[in-house]
C-alpha cells in the first residue's frame, strides 16, 4: 500500500469523471427536471422551462396508463424471477453433476442466448411467433391447434414477450451458479454419501444451503432486471397490443422520447428507482433475518 502521492488520483480520475457524469449527476438532474414542465421547447431554450413543484408526481398518480404499466411490470416480475432462478439453478445443478466431454460442450449451448443482441433476437422470435408462416404455429398445427396469436392477443403477448427474456436471461445465471458450485467442497458430498444419503438428499441438504448466497445474489439481480424490463417488449411489440406489454420502462421511454415530456418521464423514472431500491432493501433485510439463527 502506498500513500501520500498524487498517483492514485490520476489513476482514478478518468473513470470517476465518467461515472460521475453518467452515473451520479443524472440522478440529480432527474430530480431537478422532475419538478419542471421540461419538454422539447425547453430543450431548445431553457427559459421555456418552468418550475411546477410536485405536479408531475400528482399527475403520475392519476395516470391510468402509469398504473397499468406498474401492474404489467409486477406481473412480468412474478412470471420472470421464479422462472429464471429455478431454471438456471436446475440446469447448473445438472451440468455440474454431468462430467465428460459431451456435458462440457453442452454448456456453451446454454450460455449463448445471454450474449445475443436483443434486436437481432427479437427479429428471430418475431419470425418464430409469426401467425401466418411462423414455426411455432406450424408445430402446434400437428396437434390440431389452430392459429395462435402469440403477439397480438393481449394476454398471451405478455407471456410471449416474457419467454424471450427468460430465454436470454438464464445463461448468465447458470454461469454464476456453476461458479458457486465449484466452491462446494467435494469432501462434503463424499461424507454425505458415506453416511448413506442419496443424491437428491445431498443436493437438498448440503449443496443448496451452501449455494445460499449465490441464490440470493441471482434473485436480487434478476428482480432488478425485471423491474427494469425494457428491451423485449420495446422491440417485439412496442408495448402493445393496446398497452398489454407496456412495462414501466417502456412507458417512460415513450413519455420521454416520443412525447418529449422530459419532466413527466423523469418523475416516473424516480418513482421506479424508489420502487427498485425499496424492494432490494427488503430482500436484503429478509436475507439478514434468515441468517440469524
Binding to another protein by CB under 8 A, coded x per residue (else -) over 61-90, reads ------------------------------
Minimum distance from residue 122 beta carbon to another protein (Å): 7
Residue nearer to another protein on the CB measure, 237 or 244: 237
Cα separation, 142 vs 81, in Å, equals: 32
How many residues in the shown chain lie near another protein by CB under 8 A? 97
Residue 190 CB contacts under 8 Å (≥ 6 apart), including other chains: none
**Integer Rg of the chain from CA:** 24
Residue nearer to another protein on the CB measure, 17 or 286: 17
Residue 114 CB contacts under 8 Å (≥ 6 apart), including other chains: 168, 169, 170, 171, 172, 175
Minimum distance from residue 289 beta carbon to another protein (Å): 21
Binding to another protein by CB under 8 A, coded x per residue (else -) over 182-201, reads xx---------------x--
Binding to another protein by CB under 8 A, coded x per residue (else -) over 29-58, reads xx--x---------x---------------
Residue ranges in 103-162 that form contacts with another protein under rule CB under 8 A = 103, 106-113, 115-128, 130, 132-135, 138
Minimum distance from residue 61 beta carbon to another protein (Å): 18
DSSP per-residue string spanning 128-159? HH-TTT-HHHHHHHHTT-----TTTSHHHHHH
Determine the length of the chain: 293
Residue 177 CB contacts under 8 Å (≥ 6 apart), including other chains: 88, 89, 92, 93, 211, 214, 218
Binding to another protein by CB under 8 A, coded x per residue (else -) over 205-244, reads --------xx--x------x--xx-xx---x---------
CA distances from 145 to 71, 126, 158, 161, 215 (A): 30, 19, 20, 21, 38
Minimum distance from residue 159 beta carbon to another protein (Å): 16
Q: Which grid cell sits at 146?
A: 389452430
DSSP 202: H
Which segment (22-30, 50-58, 61-69, 285-293) binds another protein by CB under 8 A?
Answer: 22-30
3-class DSSP state of 290: helix
Which segment (20-28, 52-60, 62-70, 154-162) binds another protein by CB under 8 A?
Answer: 20-28
Amino acid at each position: 500500500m502506498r500513500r501520500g502521492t498524487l498517483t492514485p488520483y490520476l489513476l482514478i480520475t478518468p473513470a470517476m469523471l465518467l461515472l460521475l457524469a453518467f452515473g451520479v449527476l443524472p440522478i440529480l438532474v432527474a430530480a431537478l427536471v422532475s419538478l419542471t414542465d421540461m419538454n422539447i421547447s425547453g430543450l431548445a431554450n431553457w427559459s421555456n422551462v418552468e418550475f411546477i413543484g410536485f405536479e408531475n408526481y400528482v399527475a403520475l398518480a392519476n395516470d391510468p396508463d402509469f398504473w397499468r404499466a406498474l401492474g404489467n411490470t409486477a406481473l412480468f416480475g412474478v412470471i420472470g424471477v421464479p422462472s429464471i432462478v429455478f431454471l438456471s439453478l436446475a440446469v447448473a445443478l445438472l451440468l455440474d453433476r454431468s462430467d465428460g466431454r459431451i456435458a462440457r460442450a453442452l454448456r456453451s449451448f446454454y450460455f449463448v442466448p445471454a450474449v445475443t443482441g436483443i434486436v437481432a433476437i427479437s427479429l428471430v422470435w418475431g419470425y418464430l411467433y409469426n401467425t401466418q408462416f411462423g414455426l411455432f404455429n406450424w408445430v402446434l398445427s400437428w396437434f390440431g391447434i389452430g392459429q395462435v396469436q402469440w403477439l397480438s392477443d393481449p394476454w398471451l403477448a405478455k407471456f410471449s414477450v416474457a419467454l424471450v427474456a427468460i430465454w436470454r436471461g438464464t445463461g448468465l445465471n447458470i454461469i454464476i451458479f456453476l461458479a458457486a458450485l465449484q466452491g462446494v467442497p467435494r469432501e462434503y458430498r463424499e461424507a454425505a454419501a458415506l453416511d448413506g444419503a442419496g443424491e437428491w438428499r445431498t443436493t437438498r441438504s448440503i449443496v443448496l444451503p451452501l449455494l445460499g448466497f449465490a441464490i440470493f445474489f441471482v434473485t436480487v439481480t434478476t428482480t432488478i432486471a425485471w423491474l427494469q424490463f425494457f428491451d423485449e417488449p420495446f422491440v417485439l411489440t412496442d408495448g402493445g397490443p393496446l398497452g398489454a406489454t407496456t412495462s414501466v420502462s417502456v412507458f417512460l421511454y415513450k413519455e420521454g422520447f416520443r412525447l418529449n415530456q422530459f419532466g413527466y418521464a423523469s418523475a416516473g423514472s424516480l418513482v421506479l428507482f424508489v420502487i427498485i431500491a425499496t424492494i432490494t432493501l427488503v430482500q436484503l433485510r429478509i436475507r439478514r433475518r434468515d441468517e440469524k439463527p
